[in-house]
Amino acid sequence: MALLPAQKIAAPSQVYPSPFSLSSKQKPVDPPQKPEVRALWVVRHTLTSPDSVINMVRRAKESGFTDLIVQVRGRGDAFYSSKIEPRAEDLATQPSDFDPLSLVIREAHREGIKVHAWINIFLVANIESLPKSRDHLIYRHPEWLMVPKSIASELSAIDPNSPEYFNKLVEFVKNNREELEGLFASPAHPDVIENILSIWKDIAARYDVDGMHFDYVRYPNSQYDYSRKSLDRFKTELEKGLDPENKEFLEARLNEDPLIYANTFPEKYAQFQRRQVSDLVGRIYKSVKKIRPQAIISAAVFANDEDAYRSRFQDWKLWLDRGWLDVVCPMAYTPDTEIFRKQITSAVGASMGKKVWSGIGAYRQPVESALEKIQIARDLGAGGFILFSYDSSIKVSDLNPQGDYLEKMNGALKK
């Protein structure tokens, strides 16, 4: 699962009071009333060798986990056999026939563990290390990329295929690294949507996955996307309802202000942006269900639903209402118990009979705090939990000095 921009703190300093002690007098977590999903988000860096994959499945089984959500599209690349996108650079040292997703499925199914293909949607490149392959979409189709508002007018006068256009986008992200994780593709560009849809359908048709998982199905923030395609499509859509006088007024100013329509109708533009994301979710859900009816379609979403709706244009409550998700996974990574309770309460209340798997930030809190939140999620009626992430849970850190986070958690959960 993805780190939230404001949550890249390695180890919180506060102490978490908890009823769960990891001593010999350890108190158990109350068991759920019905079978519970215990899932792990597995970041792509664990999928880089057969030994790493096999070890991951073994530890998940030994620690009592039921589902693995494995990142097979990280940054516009493929950790599986794909003819649509370039093979991930992390697999460069492996034989060409090594297929991480196929191996995860084989090993996990042997152990009775379900596998979900985790697909990052609009985030397509890290900014610190841009893709090397010139086949990557950021080089082949720079016109697909989202544009920030502050440089949109400037970029509108530059050919998207010119190095200057691309370099200005990269420079902007680098200068705003605290808020931005990389380059994003635009949901307003029809070719972007068709590309993403083809990836989902390809995986659903060729791999025996138990589910497929949305991530980064959102805008990076409210200052995106002001690309030409987005502005042009909004203009075309809006003009249908404008009276001739208003249309003439706006048209007269369009050359000097390419953002005139979006700036004049900001709320309508925000709704337009939300609709681009929501329409994609709906199309993917319906398409995948035709190919693999039993697949669980889930999505990692911002746990603060107001921020998701207002600033990320991620209207996940609508997706639940429309029946476009089987499971919603709020990224309730906060170490704060009351904030977590509020976020999961909101998700359960909006779930419309669907399942909620509560996302827990293991990288931000000790085992005691994570166990406390699991119990809260159970009490609120969540159908399970997901830890972010497997990778951080096996890494030695101040919060996990022995690298045995999973084992400690399992010990408390099964007592």
HSE, CB side, 13 Å, CA atoms: give it for residue 16. 23
Q: Output the pLDDT for position 26.
A: 45
If we measure between CA atoms, which residue out of 116, 173, 34, 146 comes closest to residue 329?
116
Digit-by-digit pLDDT tens for the chain (415 residues) are 555 443 333 333 333 333 333 443 445 566 666 789 999 999 999 999 999 999 999 999 999 999 999 999 999 999 999 999 999 999 999 999 999 999 999 999 999 999 999 999 999 999 999 999 999 999 999 999 999 999 999 999 999 999 999 999 999 999 999 999 999 999 999 999 999 999 999 999 999 999 999 999 999 999 999 999 999 999 999 988 888 888 888 998 998 999 999 999 999 999 999 999 999 999 999 999 999 999 999 999 999 999 999 999 999 999 999 999 999 999 999 999 999 999 999 999 999 888 999 999 999 999 999 999 999 999 999 999 999 999 999 999 999 999 999 999 998 887 6
Token pair 């779930």 is found at 351
Give dist(CA 201, CA 203) in Å, integer.
6
126 forms bridges with which residues in the sheet? 182
Tokens, residue 407: 């084992």
Percent of the chain with pLDDT over 70: 92
Give dist(CA 218, CA 201) in Å, integer.
20
Which residues make Cβ contacts (< 8 Å) with residue 381, sequence separation at least 6?
348, 356
Give dist(CA 94, CA 79) in Å, integer.
12
In this structure, which CATH number among 1.10.10.350, 3.30.930.10, 3.20.20.80, 3.90.1150.10 belongs to the domain 5-413?
A: 3.20.20.80
If we measure between CA atoms, which residue out of 180, 187, 142, 184 comes closest to residue 161?
142
> What are the Cα distances from residue 188, in Å, to 241, 272, 364?
20, 9, 34
Supply the pTM of this predicted model. Answer: 0.91
Give dist(CA 142, CA 166) in Å, integer.
7
Q: Output the pLDDT for position 330.
A: 98
